[in-house]
């Protein structure tokens, strides 16, 4: 640029000084309707140079003025950013302290100049929600949505979280359904979906996201199993409420073999069928389950069954005793079944065997009833005393050390 300017000056100097040294300055006539302007070439060139100099001077002054304005604006913006950064740090400290009023105040002030304006507005919204200020919550969410532009995921996640906290469960479910279409493997989206589905009793939808919850390590295996059981029990309740045992059996038969072979689900299904007074179907599921795999949860349900085929349960119990040994639970259960048929001596023998393995207040009471039927009042009274002492001993609080 400097070289071009120097060349331009030399050229102009040549045009001006050349004719002056030669004694021929030339002649220029500018004629209009009313004016005639006469001057020499040298004078015209000098005037043009002066005009250019004036224009350069004006341009330099304007540049200085605008540069000063930009610097001033930059100083103000930098000051606001520094203040926003400081307020954000203070707001996060207040968040850790649980002072939500100060959190909202510090994070919302100068939020537009913060490093992450969306985060500031979303945290301010959650702080306002903690205070119960729904109007402020909506304002902060709208502002966060505007600032986030195309990345609406954190805004939508925060909105659903706040809706769940407010108890707006169906609105939250609508929100998580949309979020799952956008981010089906996002851990927080899955966590919120689980909460929304449980609260709205959308048990089939809950079952559908359980594999994703497991893959994303949102919950451990034990928690996943609890959620699965909760979902299936919810579905059982729905079927039972809609069509009783017929609807319940139809639904159960539609499940996969793997599902029908899970002991926890078998126990839940048996309990629902007993509630529906369908003891025959409940007994069939129990028998099939125990034949496939021994589980004490199924054995505990035997005394609750009132089917027309009690001999099947006694036979099954004897088989379990032969295979797994005469445990206290099996002896006690066998005694309860024998009492139903009036087989008092065999029942009392089973209860005595169970009590030898471990003391139990219920077994003492059942044994006393059986001894009453066998006309042994003294022994029955002794069993009741032993049962009462055991109950009092269990209820007595431990002495402080």
Alpha-carbon distance 174 to 40, whole Å?
86
Alpha-carbon distance 245 to 141, whole Å?
48
Alpha-carbon distance 103 to 110, whole Å?
13
Select the more confidently predicted residue: 360 or 13.
Answer: 360
pLDDT of 45 above 90: no
DSSP letter assigned to residue 360: -
CA nearest to 187, candidates 215, 164, 151, 225: 215
pLDDT of 259 above 90: yes
Give me the chain's average pLDDT, please: 85
Torsional sign, CA 292, 293, 297, 300: positive
DSSP letter assigned to residue 295: -
* Mean pLDDT score, 33-42: 69
Query: For 38, phi and psi rounded to 5 degrees?
Result: -120, 135
Pure H helices in 216-360: 221-254, 257-260, 263-275, 279-292, 296-299, 310-324, 328-340, 344-357
pLDDT in tens, 220-240: 999 999 999 999 999 999 999
Structure tokens at 388: 């009462």
Sequence-distant (6+) residues with CB within 8 A of 167 are none
Would 151-219 and 323-391 be classified into the same CATH topology? Answer: yes
Alpha-carbon distance 91 to 140, whole Å?
15
pLDDT of 134 above 60: yes
Residue given tokens 């559908």 in the structure block = 208
CA nearest to 338, candidates 328, 329, 346: 346
Q: What is the pLDDT of residue 76?
A: 47
| Cβ(305)–Cβ(274) below 8 Å | yes
pLDDT band, very low/low/confident/very high, at 8 (cuts 50, 70, 90): low
Which pairs with CB-CB distance under 8 Å and at least 24 residues apart come from 299-305?
A: 299/329, 299/330, 299/333, 300/329, 300/333, 301/267, 301/270, 301/271, 301/274, 302/333, 302/336, 302/337, 303/333, 303/336, 303/337, 304/274, 305/274, 305/279
| CATH match for 323-391 among 1.25.40.10, 3.20.20.10, 1.20.120.450, 1.20.1560.10 | 1.25.40.10
Select the more confidently predicted residue: 373 or 52.
Answer: 373
| Cβ(379)–Cβ(387) below 8 Å | no
Q: What dotted CATH number matches 151-219? A: 1.25.40
Domain boundaries, the chain: 79-149, 151-219, 323-391
């Amino acid at each position: 640029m400097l070289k071009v300017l120097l060349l331009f000056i030399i050229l102009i100097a040549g045009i001006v000084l050349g004719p002056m040294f030669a004694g021929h300055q030339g002649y220029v006539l500018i004629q209009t309707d009313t004016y005639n302007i006469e001057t020499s070439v040298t004078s015209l060139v000098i005037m043009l140079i002066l005009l250019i100099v004036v224009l350069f001077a004006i341009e330099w002054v304007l540049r200085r003025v605008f540069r000063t304005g930009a610097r001033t604006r930059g100083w103000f913006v930098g000051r606001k950013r520094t203040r926003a950064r400081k307020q954000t740090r203070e707001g996060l400290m207040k968040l850790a302290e649980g002072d939500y009023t100060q959190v909202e105040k510090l994070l919302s002030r100068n939020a537009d100049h913060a490093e992450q304006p969306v985060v500031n507005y979303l945290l301010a919204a959650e702080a306002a929600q903690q205070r119960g200020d729904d109007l402020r919550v909506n304002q902060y969410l709208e502002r966060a949505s505007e600032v986030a532009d195309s990345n609406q995921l954190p805004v939508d996640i925060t909105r659903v979280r706040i809706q769940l906290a407010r108890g707006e469960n169906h609105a939250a479910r609508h929100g998580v359904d949309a979020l799952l279409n956008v981010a089906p493997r996002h851990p927080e989206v899955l966590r919120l979906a689980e909460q929304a589905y449980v609260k709205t009793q959308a048990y089939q939808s809950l079952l559908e996201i359980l594999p994703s919850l497991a893959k994303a390590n949102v919950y451990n295996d034990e928690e996943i199993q609890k959620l699965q059981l909760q979902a299936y029990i919810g579905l059982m309740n729905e079927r039972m409420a809609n069509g009783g045992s017929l609807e319940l059996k139809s639904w159960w038969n539609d499940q996969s073999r793997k599902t029908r072979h899970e002991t926890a689900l078998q126990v839940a299904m048996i309990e629902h069928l007993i509630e529906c007074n369908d003891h025959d179907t409940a007994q069939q599921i129990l028998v099939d389950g125990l034949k496939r795999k021994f589980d004490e949860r199924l054995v505990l349900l035997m005394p609750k069954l009132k089917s027309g085929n009690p001999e099947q349960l006694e036979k099954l119990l004897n088989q379990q005793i032969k295979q797994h040994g005469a445990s206290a639970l099996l002896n006690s259960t066998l005694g309860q079944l024998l009492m139903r048929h009036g087989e008092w001596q065999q029942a009392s023998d089973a209860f005595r065997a169970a009590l030898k393995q471990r003391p139990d207040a219920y077994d003492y009471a059942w044994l006393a009833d059986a001894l009453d039927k066998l006309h042994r009042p003294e022994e029955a009274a002794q069993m009741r005393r032993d049962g009462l002492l055991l109950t009092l001993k269990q209820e007595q609080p431990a002495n402080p050390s």
